Amino acid sequence: MQAKTRKDYAIGIDIGGTNTVFGMVDHRGDIRYRGAISTRKHDTIEPYIEELHEALLPAIEHVGGIQNVRGIGVGAPNGNYYNGTIEYAPNLRFQGIIPLANLMEKKFGLPTALTNDANAAAVGEMMYGVAVGMKDFIMITLGTGVGSGIVANGQLIYGHDGFAGELGHTITIPGGRFHPGTGAHGSLEAYASATGVTRTAHEFLDKDPSKESLLRAYPREDIDSRIVYDCAMKGDAISGDIFRYTGEILGMALANFVMFSSPEAIVLFGGLTKAGDLLLKPTKASMEKNLLPIFQNKVKLVFSELKEADAAILGASALVWELKKD
Amino acid sequence: MQAKTRKDYAIGIDIGGTNTVFGMVDHRGDIRYRGAISTRKHDTIEPYIEELHEALLPAIEHVGGIQNVRGIGVGAPNGNYYNGTIEYAPNLRFQGIIPLANLMEKKFGLPTALTNDANAAAVGEMMYGVAVGMKDFIMITLGTGVGSGIVANGQLIYGHDGFAGELGHTITIPGGRFHPGTGAHGSLEAYASATGVTRTAHEFLDKDPSKESLLRAYPREDIDSRIVYDCAMKGDAISGDIFRYTGEILGMALANFVMFSSPEAIVLFGGLTKAGDLLLKPTKASMEKNLLPIFQNKVKLVFSELKEADAAILGASALVWELKKD
């Protein structure tokens, strides 16, 4: 056998609103080198890519040079798999339609695949997480917002235009809470995100101002899902109610998703999952209650076991192994 | 070239709650022979299959004998593609889990594929209807109930257990109308079906008993979607409101489905579509209003152009061409 060029590494990049984290990942899903840069520092895409390139050079060096790297996978908000573009991402400073994959290919000389951040996380779960071996599952990311990645028949569902899986924006409570980012009323994200939990806390505290709560010891603007969690764990009644309410709405939405694609599992991921059973139990109960009997007690509702930063890097890097170009 | 057995025909069967219709279909989607038997006549499956076999014999004769028939495709309520079973179909007299494909194979000596009726209609649209060439679309059947078939990445979505696509049972108005068949409150089917339109008519007439309406000329129990349509076309205000209300709720549900799988089109099918623009216009307006901007003005909302009886037969027969066994 002749020696041949090995391309055993893939770069995974997760572009978040605040930070961009990246890793050099091997075939087994081990992250061999990690790094991060600020996403917010640049107004335009070119200097951002310039800085990302600089930051990645040591990672490329670490695995013996660019000839050992097969490509780049990127997860980004509003990332479009078909076009390799980021389109009108509300939480990024880069405006309009950004041909990111194209720009990356030019800068790095490596084939680049792009998808949205929740899709990348779903791929990460499918290749290295709790969804290994599953052909039908839904990934729900519960962070500042609510994202989703849907796998059916063993494939990510991208839809006709590459934007499938915006489950956080489905209308769950018609005429409900206003979502300032989208203008929608009653979308899931207005309730089942970290931001949603904070809003629920404010609503519940205001609704019954005379009711005692540990939450009242905190300045109103400081109350977040972590504080609600801490208070609930100390037995605070309102804090417990906040998670029950969140779980009820989330569970109803999940039931609707199950009746759409009948997944083997729903994988919950992101900051809000730190609430553990406080969130999981009411969510599961509400999901089962709202399911048609043929779907009841079939769907696993589980938390991701991947480290939050890792899932997106791993998932993004996994896109590389599916790249047709080489 | 040697002569070989031609298997150019497929039997398509649509099992409805009242009637079972069938056709002998050629490769081009022409139905060469049609027939029907009652579904309700038999309590158990064996005599039903016996009668179906009798009824199909002339169809098989018509195409020159069973050696020219490749197989049988069946669309049935709660039909499970993976197992070939009908499971707990509420509107059939056959109880429990019926191993229909297996029983058919034994009786006819032909490979048999089974799926639910809405999935069969979706396949019919994909092969011979308005969805030809589409890889991502959703079929919604608006009849006595609301059924659905979802195609993504060019494939029907069956889900983990074969029951994906029960969109009629998704909760659209939490805490809304009770559905006597499922026990759910506020599912789409309670509003956007023929039954739902009748209920809306009763509600609207009761809400404002002094308001004049052409509908009041009919005995209450006679009012159905056709009568509401006729009255609306004559300019009756309440009748128009009934379709607007139905369209608003249906459109919101469709927006949620779009944010799930981002289809190229939604194909509406079934009795309620006879209302034409009376239903289509408010549905479209409500769908667009509830969509996230990146999805707006992209999704075609169209009526099926297949004859209602034909779509299910064609779709069921089309399953045969995908059968692996021969």
Element housing B47 (H / E): helix B45-62
Sheet holding A31-38, edge to edge: A31-38, A19-26, A9-15, A69-76, A112-116
Asked whether residue B171 falls in the same domain as residue B230, the answer is yes
Q: Decide the pairing of beta strands A69-76 and A112-116.
A: parallel
Can you tell me whether residue B238 is helix, strand or coil?
helix
Cα first-last separation, chain B: 21
Determine the Cα–Cα distance for residues A201 and A242; give it in Å rounded to an integer: 6
Q: So what's the ipTM on this one?
A: 0.92
- Count H helices, E strands: chain B? 9, 13
Determine the Cα–Cα distance for residues A58 and A66; give it in Å rounded to an integer: 11
The tokens describing A124, both together, are 């990460």
Longest Cα–Cα distance of chain B, Å, equals 79
Which residues of chain A have a CB within 8 Å of the CB of B295?
Answer: 161, 163, 166
Asked whether residue B45 falls in the same domain as residue B164, the answer is no
Looking at residue A326, what is its pLDDT? Answer: 40
Asked whether residue A168 falls in the same domain as residue A46, the answer is no
Task: Please indicate, yes or no, if residue A208 is contained in any of the structural domains.
Answer: yes
How many interchain CB pairs under 8 A, A with B?
146
Which residues of chain A have a CB within 8 Å of the CB of B263?
Answer: 159-160
CA distance B105 to chain A (A): 26
Asked whether residue A199 falls in the same domain as residue A64, the answer is no
Determine the Cα–Cα distance for residues A54 and A59; give it in Å rounded to an integer: 10
Q: Which of A135, A290, A294 sits opposite B88 (nearest CB)?
A: A294
Q: What is the CATH number of the domain that holds A213?
A: 3.30.420.40
Beta-ladder partners of B120: none
Amino acid letter, residue B230: D
Report residue B207 CA to chain centroid gap: 32
DSSP state of B306: S
Q: Do A159 and B293 touch (CB under 8 A)?
A: no
Asked whether residue B144 falls in the same domain as residue B291, the answer is yes
Task: Please indicate, yes or no, if residue B93 is contained in any of the structural domains.
Answer: yes
Q: Do B136 and A171 touch (CB under 8 A)?
A: no
Asked whether residue A20 falls in the same domain as residue A118, the answer is yes
Amino acid letter, residue B286: S
Amino acid letter, residue A257: F
Amino acid letter, residue A85: T
Task: Please indicate, yes or no, if residue B129 is contained in any of the structural domains.
Answer: no
Mutate which of B139, B156, B256 to disrupt the A interface (most A C-beta within 10 Å)? B256
Q: Which of A269, A261, A123, A124 is nearest to A193 (CA)?
A: A269
Which residues of chain B have a CB within 8 Å of the CB of A159?
Answer: 136, 152, 261-263
- Per-residue tens of pLDDT for chain A, all 326 residues: 444 557 899 999 999 888 999 999 998 899 999 999 999 999 999 999 999 999 999 999 999 999 999 999 999 988 999 999 999 887 889 989 999 999 999 999 999 999 998 999 999 999 999 999 999 999 999 998 999 999 999 999 999 999 999 999 999 999 999 999 899 999 999 999 999 999 999 999 999 999 999 999 999 999 999 999 999 999 999 999 999 999 999 999 999 999 999 999 999 999 999 999 999 999 999 999 999 999 999 999 999 988 877 888 999 999 998 775 44
Task: Please indicate, yes or no, if residue A271 is contained in any of the structural domains.
Answer: yes
Asked whether residue B198 falls in the same domain as residue B103, the answer is no
Segments forming the whole domain that contains residue A74? 9-124+309-321
Asked whether residue A313 falls in the same domain as residue A300, the answer is no
Mutate which of B87, B151, B166, B286 to disrupt the A interface (most A C-beta within 10 Å)? B166
Residue with tokens 């506020």: B186
Can you tell me whether residue B230 is helix, strand or coil?
helix
Q: Which of A87, A134, A157 sits opposite B261 (nearest CB)?
A: A157
Q: Is the dihedral of CA A204, A205, A210, A213 positive or negative?
A: positive
Task: Please indicate, yes or no, if residue A298 is contained in any of the structural domains.
Answer: yes
The tokens describing A307, both together, are 């480290």
Asked whether residue B95 falls in the same domain as residue B178, the answer is no
Looking at residue A253, what is its pLDDT? Answer: 98
Q: Do A260 and B164 touch (CB under 8 A)?
A: yes
Looking at residue B89, what is its pLDDT? Answer: 85
Looking at residue B95, what is its pLDDT? Answer: 87
Determine the Cα–Cα distance for residues A301 and A222; give it in Å rounded to an integer: 30
Asked whether residue B138 falls in the same domain as residue B241, the answer is yes
Looking at residue A311, what is its pLDDT? Answer: 85
Determine the Cα–Cα distance for residues B233 and A139; give it in Å rounded to an integer: 46
Quick one: closest CA in B to A265, which residue? B160
Looking at residue B3, what is its pLDDT? Answer: 44
Task: Please indicate, yes or no, if residue B216 is contained in any of the structural domains.
Answer: yes
Residue by residue, what is the 3-state secondary structure of chain A? CCCCCCCCEEEEEEECCCEEEEEEEECCCCEEEEEEEECCCCCCHHHHHHHHHHHHHHHHHHCCCHHHEEEEEEEECCEECCCCEEECCCCCCCCCEECHHHHHHHHHCCCEEEEEHHHHHHHHHHHHCCCCCCCCEEEEEECCCEEEEEEECCEECCCCCCCCCCHHHCECCCCCCECCCCCCECECHHHHCHHHHHHHHHHHHHHCCCCCCHHHHCCHHHCCHHHHHHHHHCCCHHHHHHHHHHHHHHHHHHHHHHHHHCCCEEEEECHHHHHCHHHHHHHHHHHHHHCCHHHCCCCEEEECCCCHHHHHHHHHHHHHHCCCCC
Residue with tokens 């078909």: A82
How crowded is residue A318: how many other Cβ atoms within 10 Å of its Cβ? 23
Looking at residue B325, what is its pLDDT? Answer: 44
Task: Please indicate, yes or no, if residue A217 is contained in any of the structural domains.
Answer: yes
Mutate which of B80, B188, B262 to disrupt the A interface (most A C-beta within 10 Å)? B262
Quick one: closest CA in A to B261, which residue? A164
Looking at residue A324, what is its pLDDT? Answer: 56
Looking at residue A196, what is its pLDDT? Answer: 97
Q: Which of B150, B182, B295 sits opposite A163 (nearest CB)?
A: B295
- Interface of B to A at Cβ within 8 Å reads 78, 87-88, 134-136, 150, 152-153, 155, 157-167, 169-174, 182, 184, 252, 255-257, 259-264, 290, 292-295, 298
* Pair B278, A177: CB distance under 8 Å: no
* Pair A309, A23: CB distance under 8 Å: no
Determine the Cα–Cα distance for residues B46 and B28; give it in Å rounded to an integer: 32
Total domain count, chain A: 2
Sheet holding B19-26, edge to edge: B31-38, B19-26, B9-15, B69-76, B112-116
Q: Which of A169, A255, A261 sits opposite B157 (nearest CB)?
A: A261
* Pair A204, A246: CB distance under 8 Å: no
The tokens describing A99, both together, are 């041909």
Task: Please indicate, yes or no, if residue B2 is contained in any of the structural domains.
Answer: no
Which residues of chain B carry a pLDDT beneath 50?
Answer: 1-3, 325-326
Amino acid letter, residue A58: P
For the CA atoms of B78, B82, B83, B87, what is the dihedral angle to 10 degrees?
-10
Model confidence over B86-96: pLDDT tens digits? 998 878 899 89
Looking at residue A5, what is its pLDDT? Answer: 57
What Å distances lie between residue A91 and A18, A20, A292, B166, CA to CA? 9, 13, 37, 34
Long-range contacts, stretch A216-222, CB < 8 angstroms, 24+ apart: none
Q: Which of A312, A307, A239 is nearest to A76 (CA)?
A: A312
Determine the Cα–Cα distance for residues B21 and A194; give it in Å rounded to an integer: 53
Asked whether residue A35 falls in the same domain as residue A98, the answer is yes
Asked whether residue B60 falls in the same domain as residue B183, the answer is no
Determine the Cα–Cα distance for residues B91 and B87; give it in Å rounded to an integer: 11
Which residues of chain A have a CB within 8 Å of the CB of B149?
Answer: none
